[in-house]
Amino acid sequence: MRKKLVAGNWKMNNDLDAGLKLTSEIIHMVEDEVRGNVGVVIAPPFVHLTKISQLLKNEARISLAAQNCSEHEKGAYTGEVSAGMLASVGVNFVIIGHSERREYFNETNEQLARKTDIVLNHGLLPIFCCGESLEIREKGNYVEHVCNQLNESLFHLSEEELRKVVIAYEPIWAIGTGKTASTEQAQEMHHALRNYIAGAYGKELADDITILYGGSCKPSNAPELFACADVDGGLIGGASLSSRDFVDIIKSF
């Protein structure tokens, strides 16, 4: 049975004190309120990771993620952070290919393939993001576009390696645009991605892959989204900055 997971991406928010306070609130609320086999991940900014790792060292249910990493092992890459560095401070997951990284920093599928490899090589777990813009959605070739992202960034992996990857589908066209992705649209894409993986790796592996929804998930719509057959949780943005909202989303299963 595939893993249910809710991951909070804080993006470029919170100073260290605020991040430590939020983490402490989440720890206590998860302990007190969350039942069932749901994994929890938080992804603070890089500069918070060491301190927050210390808070989480005895927490079996809550894992730590980085929001990005370098495609290089080490060297003269000023401002970059390597997968090895992240592993050394207790990081478990790394978000790869978030829509904002693709858009603002022009990350390509080929770069993301290298990042995926380097993350796996250091024993970390990738949360691989994929999705389509409004222009591609309106053209109608959105399934082909998103499946191609998987093909070019993930399908060089062995079956054993791919089993370690969490996929997060981001309907970019429905994030901050005033448009809304329906649960039917979310399920359609998650099902299409799972079928595409099945075509390349077989149904058994595809059925084991965790696929998260990354499009404006809130406590009000999480129960309906998480009830979809192929939606295994969420990659949460703004709502993860509120401990109450984030934990209510976790409790939506």
Q: Which of the residues 48, 71, 170, 190 is marked catalytic?
A: 170
The residue from 48, 71, 98, 132 that is catalytic is 98
Binding positions for substrate:
9-11, 176, 216, 237-238
What is the pLDDT at residue 1? 76
Known active-site residue 145? no
Q: Whole-prediction pTM value?
A: 0.97
CATH code: domain of residue 188: 3.20.20.70
- The residue range of the domain holding 14 is 4-250
CA distance 87 to 127: 15
Alpha-carbon gap, residue 249 to 244, rounded angstroms: 9
- The string of pLDDT tens digits covering residues 129-166 is 999 998 999 999 999 999 999 999 999 999 999 999 99
Number of domains in the chain: 1
CB-based contact 232:211 (threshold 8 Å):
yes
* Averaged pLDDT, 6-18: 98
- Let me know if 28 is a catalytic residue: no
